[in-house]
Structure 1
């Protein structure tokens, strides 16, 4: 897990480093550290979250291991499966 703020000193450097890691295939999932939710990098809900709450994962398995749940907006089927398994 990588925190967005740990990717650089400025917003420009953070965004540049994030793009580099995504292009290299080192990051593919984004998440919200406070709510423990993960989703696709292009999720509208994820793009609205505060930068200080953003985290990134190599893959979905890493997010699940860290105790995060799927996003109800961009990962509806996986969220419903998670919801049914966890009695929510």
Structure 2
């Protein structure tokens, strides 16, 4: 079975997207322009356009792709990211 790492939402039909989310192959969404990722039910994430949204199977895949945690839905991860960013 091939694991889904990063895919653009605009490349999926609504039905395919629902199946991937339901099966647990997609767990996080990100904003392509802002390089921010978060939970699929995040209010901030729901406002972005389909063309800017990318989807991740894991948090590790989002981080490896250069995305940072959302400050709204992932407060602890965001605080850790910000603390490590300020140290540099």
> Which string of whole-angstrom CA distances, capped at 9 and with x for unpartnered residues, describes residues 44-80 of structure 1?
0000001100000001000000000000000011101
Q: How high is the TM-score relative to the length of structure 2?
A: 0.90
What secondary structure is seen at the aligned counterpart in 1 of 2:41? coil
> Aligned partners of 1:79 and 1:71: how far apart in 2?
6
Question: Is the counterpart of residue 5 in structure 1 residue 10 in structure 2?
Answer: yes
Partner of 2:26: 27
Kindly state the Cα deviation for residue 24 of structure 1 after the two structures are TM-superposed: 1.2
Q: CA RMSD in A?
A: 1.1
> Which string of whole-angstrom CA distances, capped at 9 and with x for unpartnered residues, describes residues 9-68 of structure 1?
xxxxx2211110011111000000000000000000000001100000001000000000
> Aligned partners of 1:25 and 1:18: how far apart in 2?
11
In the TM superposition, what are the counterparts of 1:1-88 in structure 2 within 5 Å? 1-7=6-12, 14-87=13-86
> Aligned partners of 1:39 and 1:27: how far apart in 2?
12
Task: Name segments (4+ residues, structure 1) moved above 4 Å.
Answer: none
The number of aligned residues is 82
Q: How high is the TM-score relative to the length of structure 1?
A: 0.90
> Aligned partners of 2:14 and 2:70: how far apart in 1?
22
> Aligned partners of 1:17 and 1:44: how far apart in 2?
22
Partner of 2:3: none
